[in-house]
Copies of this chain bind each other. A is one copy, B any other.
Amino acid sequence: MEQENIGRKEREKLFKRAEILSAAEELFFHKGFTATTLDDIAVKAEFGKGTIYNYFANKEEIYLSIVEDFIHKFIEIVNEADKESESFKEFIAAYISRLYCFCHDNRVGYTLYVREFSDINIDTVIHDKCAYFDRYPQMFQPFKNRFDKAQKEGIITDRFDIESIVVFVQHSIFSNLYISINGRRRGDFDCRHEAELAVEFILNGILKK
């Protein structure tokens, strides 16, 4: 009985936290970090301004929580793609198609993540905190391993080192995904088609054989 009570409170707390995050996400997405005020968030979340501070230490922490969420999900995707595919080609295809579909459904989270992660946006502060870079290995190791193996097996070019290739590929994917999702033609966005293009581009380049 008591346990049940604790459970409910806990659940309520999490629920409200999620409400706040959801409101903030939307605002950050449309107005950016600096331009979004705590008042905005409070109003949209339908809480008092002070209440927000019972759930997050400050504005930045709200932003970070959103990005953090995305990272967790991203890691899952990479691992799933890794597990469920045999060959290098299959892995690339699996990874890209999963990523494209997932990000299509989680446009806002993905966008905020990229803004932070891209080194392009200076608006938020996380930048200075290296905490982030600690996640890199977890995020990209499976990816690297696959490329490493593929290079050793002679499947992919050996004219450049693995680090360069992974970086190039990863950024091509991310930036194009970003554009597809947020760009001016986003209305047309078709997961499958875009993923296909990306896979083909990555695997075969644009020149006909």
Cross-interface CB contact of A122 among B32, B155, B156, B184, cutoff 8 Å = B32
CA distance A159 to B207 in the complex (A): 11
- How many identical subunits does the complex contain? 4
8 Å CB contact of A200 from B157, B167, B185, B204:
B157
Would you give the shortest CB distance from A26 to chain B, in whole angstroms?
A: 13
Most interface-central of A120, A157, A163, A178 (chain B CB within 10 A): A120
Q: Is A154 an interface residue when CB atoms closer than 8 A count as contact? A: yes
Q: Residue A18 at the B interface, CB < 8 A?
A: no
A14 interfacial by beta-carbon distance below 8 Å: no
Q: In this assembly, does A43 line the interface, its C-beta being within 8 Å of a C-beta of chain B?
A: no
Chain B residue numbers with a CB within 8 Å of A171 are 172, 175-176, 179
* A44-52, A59-67, A77-85, A111-119 - the one binding chain B: A111-119
A198 at the interface (CB under 8 A from B): yes
Which chain B residue shows the least CB distance to A111?
B120
Chain A residues close to B by CB (< 8 Å): 31-35, 114-115, 118-123, 133, 154-157, 159-160, 163-165, 167-169, 171-172, 174-176, 178-179, 182-185, 197-198, 200-209
Per CB-CB distance, the 3 closest pairs between chain A and chain B, nearest first, are: A205-B205, A32-B122, A175-B175
Give me 15 A-to-B residue pairs in the complex whose CB atoms sit less than 8 angstroms apart, sorted by A's number.
A32-B121, A32-B122, A34-B34, A34-B123, A35-B122, A119-B178, A120-B120, A122-B123, A133-B184, A154-B208, A165-B197, A167-B176, A167-B179, A172-B172, A175-B175
